Structure 1
Amino acid sequence: MGVKSKKIFVCGGVSYNAVITLPEFFKPKPQTIHFCEYNETIGNTGAGKALSLSKLGFETLLHTLIGADDYGNKVKSYLNQPNLEVVYEVDPKGTERHLNLLNSKGERISIFTNPNSENPIIDYEQYKRRIKSSDLVVINISNYCRNFIPVCKALNKDIWTDLHDYDGINIYHQDFIDASDYIFFSSENIKDYKLFMVQMIQAGKKLVVCTHANNGATAYTQKKEWIYEPALLDFEFVNSNGAGDSFFSGFLFAYSQGKTIHECMKYATIAGALCVNTNELVSENLNKRKLETIYLEYYQI
């Protein structure tokens, strides 16, 4: 008998993005740029996590906002995947859109050309049953998602969140920080990421993980153990779009199987490496067998 798939509830944004990849960011002066890579595809952290989690075998429920427009139809087509159920509210502002500028270092500048509605009218209580039946709950930092926090807390559900490029002081993130039990974030904009990680564990968080793009990732545990995992740099770099979400999902894949944090960081690193090897939000090669194969290749002695 096979192991039963874990159920996971993901709340987060979905967008249809224009992605421009450059060798390096241009200097702030008038100019014409002739050479770049351009792609239009689904984006945003709700989509990135839901797609990668479903590819790794989780029974995934994504709650999101989608506009009643052509971009929304494209997004729904992308999200029509095995193991993924999408429940969405129609956003009167239309489907969220971003312009993402990426460089060869894995850095990103995101311009929200059409943000989603910050406080749509939603009956959050109707999702109690679905959240209660989930083994894991991921609350992303789209503004409307903070309204799911009281529902999760009433059900005594642990919350996983991703603060992305949090700078250490932006009050926008505070509700998500206070509510979450497991925190992921990037060291990109924060002055002292290790200090923040220590503060979070002291505040009662169960785990904090910080990613450093192509410089790897660091975890800090309740046992006050630092775990650093270097990036896998053997994979051809295409762009970094979605790599953090795939890293997150790779970690959860291993965590849900009872792996150690050391092992989880390695699986996460593999998933992130697969993502930077594609133009899409999630690698078409991402699956459980692929993760296990690469794990054996790189980490088994």
Structure 2
Amino acid sequence: MRTETDVLVLGGSGVDTIVHVPELPLPFADSYMIRPGIVTRAGQSGDFVAVSVGALGLRTHHLDMVGEDHEGELVRALHRERGIPFTTVLLPGGTKRAVNLVGPDGRRLSLYDDSRTQESDRLPEETVRKLAAVSRHAHVVITYPCAFALPLLREAGLTVSTDLHNWDGENPYHEQFALEADLVFLSTAALADPERTMRDIAARGRADVVVATAGAEGAYLLAEDELTHVPAVTPPEPVVDSNGAGDAFASAFLFGRLGGEDVRRCALYGAVAGAYACTVPSTRADAMSRAELLARAAELTSEI
């Protein structure tokens, strides 16, 4: 069957309300006057990946559960504006949402509304199979319904990536995603021993590559049993928000991987795109273009 999609993104749609705060952690007070204001915009992990890989020129399709509500329309509008095919399934509890507190240094604290999901939420098997049949690769967000889609993606023969975000290496919820993906991303933020967790994922699961991002310290790449440090890239502009940096890193890494680049080149792409994402205000869902990524990566390579 003809391949129509390079990256099928599953899950991770939602709406964020951005609140700029004077510092994090936020000291208790009766009230705060917020500038530059409080803004609600579409864009959570799956949305950011879909937007980012699309901006890099990869054919992208997004599948998720979304409510018939105002927030859902914001998410649909984002995909329409960016030209990203978006297959939606009704989420009875309403579109997922979160509040992001953003400090002056760009750090964030995210508060997720956990009341919108239900035990019975599922992505229809027929829909997953149909989209997987015409796709090269699937990036699976760790939202609850996506866990049930993993065997179907395997059945279709797709390679799979996932992002465990701030997994502590112990929570059993993340394990199925960690062990059934060929390419695993995660953050070092909650890990007591990042190398041990990375090697455990590789030893017990399918992953041939594990990447742990470490913010300003760069990232760590485990491939062919070798652990390599990936230096951070200096952002091209002042850092204003770290939200979406991990998704940008994963998207650019996928761009390189699907293009046949070696893993270190993929990691460089990820570092470049992650740094760029930190310069994008939290009120926007912008992504680095393919031309910008390749040009910046070429500059950095020439400097080595």
2:68 & 2:228 partners in 1: Cα distance? 46
- SS where residue 148 of structure 2 aligns? helix
Could you tell which deviates more after superposition, 239-248 or 154-163? 154-163
1:197 maps to which residue?
198
For residue 6 of structure 1, report the CA deviation from its aligned partner.
5.9
Structure 1 residues 219 and 95: alpha-carbon distance in aligned structure 2, compared to 1, 3 A threshold: same
TM-score, normalised relative to structure 2: 0.90
**Consecutive unaligned residues in structure 1, runs of 5 or more:** none
CA spacing shift, 1:28–1:172, aligned 2, 3 Å: farther
2:281 aligned with 1:282:
no
Higher deviation after alignment, 9-18 or 80-89: 80-89
- Letter of the structure 1 residue corresponding to residue 68 of structure 2: A
The farther-off stretch of 47-56 and 98-107 is: 98-107
TM-score by length of 1: 0.90
CA apart distance, 1:114? 5.8
Measure the CA separation in 1 of the matches of 2:277 and 2:77: 20
> Which stretch has the larger CA shift, 72-81 or 165-174?
72-81
d(CA) in 2 for partners of 1:300, 1:31: 53
Residue 108 of structure 1 corresponds to 108
Root-mean-square deviation over aligned CA pairs? 2.2
Matched, 1:262 2:264: yes
Partner of 2:66: 66
The answer to whether the Cα contact below 8 Å between 1:48 and 1:281 also exists between their aligned partners in 2 is no
Q: 1:135 aligned to 2:136?
A: yes
Report if the CA contact (8 A) 1:12-1:145 is conserved.
Answer: yes
Amino acid at match of 2:265: E
Where does residue 209 of structure 1 map in the other structure?
211
Letter in 1 for 2:46: G
Structure 1 residues 132 and 281, CA gap change in structure 2 (3 angstroms):
farther
Higher mean C-alpha deviation, range 176-185 or range 77-86: 77-86
Superposition deviation, residue 200 in structure 1:
1.9
Q: Between 136-145 and 193-202, report the one with greater CA deviation.
A: 193-202
Name stretches of at least 5 consecutive residues in structure 2 with no aligned partner: none
Question: Structure 1 residues 79 and 126 mapped into 2: Cα distance closer, same or farther (>3 Å)?
Answer: closer
Q: Which shifted more, 108-117 or 249-258?
A: 108-117
Question: Partner residue of 1:85?
Answer: 85
The range that moved more, 109-118 or 82-91, is: 109-118
Kindly state the Cα deviation for residue 154 of structure 1 after the two structures are TM-superposed. 1.7
**Structure 1 residue 76: deviation in Å?**
1.0
**1:147 partner amino acid:** F
Number of the residue aligned with 1:174: 175
Query: How far apart in 2 are the matches of 1:183 and 1:106?
Result: 25
- Deviation by residue 1:61-91 (Cα, 9 ceiling, x = unmatched): 1001211111211221111145511001121
Residue pair 1:64, 1:87 contacting (<8 A) in 2 also: yes
SS in 2 for 1:99: strand
AA aligned opposite 1:288: R
Paired residue secondary structure (2:80): coil
Tell me by how many angstroms 1:268 deviates: 0.8
1:159 Cα deviation from its structure 2 partner: 1.4
1:165/1:186 contact within 8 Å kept:
yes
SS in 2 for 1:89: strand
**In 1, Cα distance between the equivalents of 2:23 and 2:110?**
15
The code of the aligned residue for 2:242 comes to S
- Does the CA-based 8 Å contact 1:207-1:220 persist in structure 2? yes
Aligned length: 297
Deviations 1:37-75 (A, max 9, x none): 433211211111111111111111100121111121122
Q: CA deviation at 1:157?
A: 2.4
Report Cα offsets for 1:172-202 as digits up to 9, x if no partner.
Answer: 1111112112100001111111111111222
Please state whether the residue corresponding to 1:100 is helix, strand or coil: strand
For the structure 1 residues 23 and 257, does the alpha-carbon distance in structure 2 shift closer, same or farther, using more than 3 Å as the test?
Answer: farther
* 8 Å contact kept, 2:63–2:86: yes
Contact conserved, 1:52 with 1:282, CA < 8 A, in 2?
Answer: no
| Matching residue of 1:14 | 13
Aligned-pair CA distance for 1:33: 2.8
Q: Does 1:117 align with 2:117?
A: yes
Q: Tell me the equivalent position of 1:95.
A: 95
Distance 1:87 1:115 in 2: 23
Q: Distance in 2 between matches of 1:26 and 1:134?
A: 43
